[in-house]
């Protein structure tokens, strides 16, 4: 950051405003002190605006502790090479690059060594092949281009550094020892002389200590003086090379970012070493360091597995009634069921919601049973209300499992729940009604979607026939279960399954591919997981509803999450289309052919019903005491 002053006062004779270049031309901001403003249009510096190091703007920063795992962390030192740091090329001893060098040697490198953190020296190291494959705009990096203008002998002329890193080299080239141009250098064939050096160009001879002259070599090419480390850093690197554990690594790069493109030597090393947290240091922070940092995020190296999952395009939903744990993971939606509400309702912090529900229920019902039902409905809605204050999307609220085989009863209960939400100011668009994926549940969802505009989540789904019928019914979303399918196969076959072999994972993959093949809009939301591997094998699924314990695991992990489910890939699959919505007999027969699905659906309905009965028992006691 360099301050520049206009030599002329303003029209009133007041001192000129201070104008400061932030960054380096032509990628700079122009700051003016009067009125305070920033100009981001990258204006050309005025003729009088020669940079002066005597003035600067100080920006305050806040130090915040960050907890890292040393075994999974690397200190990446970028571009600390002679070309950018050497005093013999005119780099200032008190400039940003050499100040960074001092801090690395005094603090960062010793601290990393002590903590057992891997050190990576990521530096320019070009080959002729790199130069040949490089776009012209990239080859111009860190070269300078100067047009000599002016008239007459001994007229001093400024040079504008095109990349901001070699002003001194440009000055040295353009001026003689007295700081003036010789007449023969002023023009070439009567025209202004243009000087250019880019990557791979000859830097030329450089005078170093004791009058010694070295050939600096071609600009940032491998094994040249200009691409080597300055002596103190070179000594630190060689010391690190000799370490028995985690010796320092030197990695050549051929672009500003060392992590650009699909794969680079740096990317490969990080993956092999299991490194997921990077601490960056170096020169050219606005270009090479910033580019490497951005590409690290893009590749998922610096982001949690949870954020990678979201970045792939999977909407993360929290499967919990304990809304106190939801906000940390920033899910889009949340799902609940009687079992989750029962578990949450036993916690003291939710007593207030119980009290609100009981107060409502005791005045709504002809007898005790109706009052208990009203209390339960209101409790579900109160939990949903609290959750919707945390998530930006929707909450799923389940219809009592005893209506799983009752179309009219399911519809009536669903509309009652929607009305309760609307009574407290929550629009139905933020609510999904959960129904069991029985024949009756599918038909109820069809009517709710088509006639009432109520979005449904068909749950307890264990088979493709259920999924096909739900899509034909126009269900907003389905919840095919993963873990419960795995449970059944492990018990039946007395064997364990890897995530890739997991029959629950394969079931969701089959449903996902069917939907994408035939263009169904119903959202596929994988549910009921037994391990993180099941979740990562479904990366790319529309939605995944995940319990807080697995959300925490993903939140704390930096493991790379590749996309496994890709909608476009399903278009070429050979899949037979089936229809069930208007053929109850065919649906029941095909569903009945899958023993696992039949057993798990029955078991799921019974468990939800049992938990609802337990919850009603708790509410009954509270109503009787109210």
Catalytic residues: 434
Length of the chain: 626
Our CA dihedral for 221, 224, 229, 230, rounded to 10 degrees, sits at -140
Question: Of all helices (H) and strands (E), which one includes residue 248?
Answer: none
* Rounded CA separation 467/442 (Å): 10
Q: Are 477 and 545 in contact (CB under 8 A)?
A: no
Cis previous bond, 26, omega within 30: yes
Q: Do 220 and 227 touch, CB atoms closer than 8 A?
A: yes
By DSSP bridging, strand 2-5 and strand 36-39 are: unpaired
CA-closest candidate to residue 484, choices 612, 406, 600, 592? 600
Beta bridge partners of 278: 74
- Burial environment of residue 66 by CB neighbours within 10 A (0 to 12, 13 to 18, 19 or more): exposed
Distance between CA atoms of 203 and 399, rounded to whole angstroms?
A: 76
598 contact partners, CB below 8 Å, separation of at least 6: 591, 592
- 312 vs 261: CA distance, rounded Å: 18
- Three-state DSSP state, 282: strand
Beta-bridged to residue 3, according to DSSP, are 20, 52
18 Cβ contact partners less than 8 Å away, ≥ 6 residues apart? 3, 5, 32, 33, 34, 55
Tokens of 361: 């229920």
As beta bridge partners, residue 461 has 480
């Amino acid at each position: 950051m360099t301050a520049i002053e206009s030599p002329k006062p303003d029209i009133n004779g007041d001192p000129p405003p201070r104008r400061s270049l932030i960054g380096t031309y032509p990628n700079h901001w122009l700051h003016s002190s009067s009125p305070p403003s920033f100009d981001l249009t990258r204006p050309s510096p005025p003729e009088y605006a020669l940079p002066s190091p005597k003035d600067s703007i100080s920006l305050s920063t806040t130090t915040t502790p960050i907890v890292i795992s040393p075994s999974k962390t690397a200190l990446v030192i970028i571009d600390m090479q002679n070309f950018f740091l050497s005093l013999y090329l005119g780099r200032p001893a008190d400039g940003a690059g050499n100040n960074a060098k001092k801090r690395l040697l005094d603090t960062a490198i010793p601290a990393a060594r002590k903590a057992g953190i891997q050190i990576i020296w990521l530096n320019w190291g070009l080959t002729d092949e790199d130069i040949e494959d490089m776009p012209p705009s990239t080859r111009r990096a860190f070269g300078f281009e100067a047009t000599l203008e002016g008239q007459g002998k001994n007229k001093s002329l400024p040079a504008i550094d095109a990349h901001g890193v070699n002003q001194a080299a440009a000055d040295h080239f353009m001026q003689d020892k007295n700081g003036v141009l010789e007449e023969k250098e002023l023009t070439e064939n009567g025209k202004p002389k243009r000087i250019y050096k880019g990557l791979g160009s000859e830097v030329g001879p450089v005078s170093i200590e004791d009058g010694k002259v070295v050939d600096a070599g071609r600009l940032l090419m491998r094994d040249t003086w200009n691409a080597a480390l300055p002596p103190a850093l070179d000594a630190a690197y060689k010391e690190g090379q000799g370490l028995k554990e985690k010796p320092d690594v030197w990695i050549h790069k051929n672009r500003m970012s060392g992590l650009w493109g699909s794969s680079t030597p740096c990317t490969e090393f990080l993956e092999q070493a299991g490194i997921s947290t990077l601490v960056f240091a170096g020169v050219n922070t606005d270009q090479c360091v910033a580019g490497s940092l951005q590409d690290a995020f893009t590749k998922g190296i610096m982001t949690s597995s949870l954020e990678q999952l979201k970045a792939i395009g999977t909407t993360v939903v929290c499967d919990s009634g304990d809304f106190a744990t939801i906000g940390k993971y920033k899910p889009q939606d949340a799902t609940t069921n009687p079992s989750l509400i029962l578990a949450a309702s036993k916690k003291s912090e939710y007593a207030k919601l119980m009290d609100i529900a009981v107060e409502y229920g005791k005045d709504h019902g002809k007898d005790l049973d109706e009052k208990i039902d009203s209390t339960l409905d209101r409790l579900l809605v109160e939990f949903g209300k609290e959750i919707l204050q945390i998530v930006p999307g929707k909450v799923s609220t389940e219809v009592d499992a005893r209506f799983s085989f009752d179309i009219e009863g399911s519809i009536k209960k669903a509309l009652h729940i929607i009305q309760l939400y609307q009574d407290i100011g929550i629009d139905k668009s933020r609510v999904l009604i959960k129904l069991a994926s029985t024949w009756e549940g599918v038909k109820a969802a069809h009517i709710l979607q088509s006639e009432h505009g109520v979005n449904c989540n068909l749950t307890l789904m264990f088979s493709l026939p259920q999924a096909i019928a739900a899509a034909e019914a126009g269900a907003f979303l389905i919840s095919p279960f993963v873990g419960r399918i795995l449970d059944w196969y492990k018990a039946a076959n007395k064997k364990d399954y890897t995530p890739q072999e997991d029959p629950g994972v394969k079931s969701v993959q089959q449903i996902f591919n069917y939907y994408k093949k035939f263009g169904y809009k119903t959202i596929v939301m994988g549910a009921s997981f037994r391990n993180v591997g099941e979740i990562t094998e479904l990366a790319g699924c529309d939605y995944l509803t995940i319990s807080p314990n697995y959300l925490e695991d993903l939140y704390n992990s930096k493991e790379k999450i590749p996309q496994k489910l890709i909608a476009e890939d399903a278009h070429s699959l050979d899949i037979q289309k089936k229809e069930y919505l208007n053929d109850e007999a065919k649906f029941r027969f095909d569903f009945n052919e899958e023993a696992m699905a039949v057993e798990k659906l029955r078991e799921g309905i019974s468990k939800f019903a049992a938990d609802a009965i337990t919850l009603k028992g708790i509410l009954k006691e509270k109503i009787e005491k109210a």
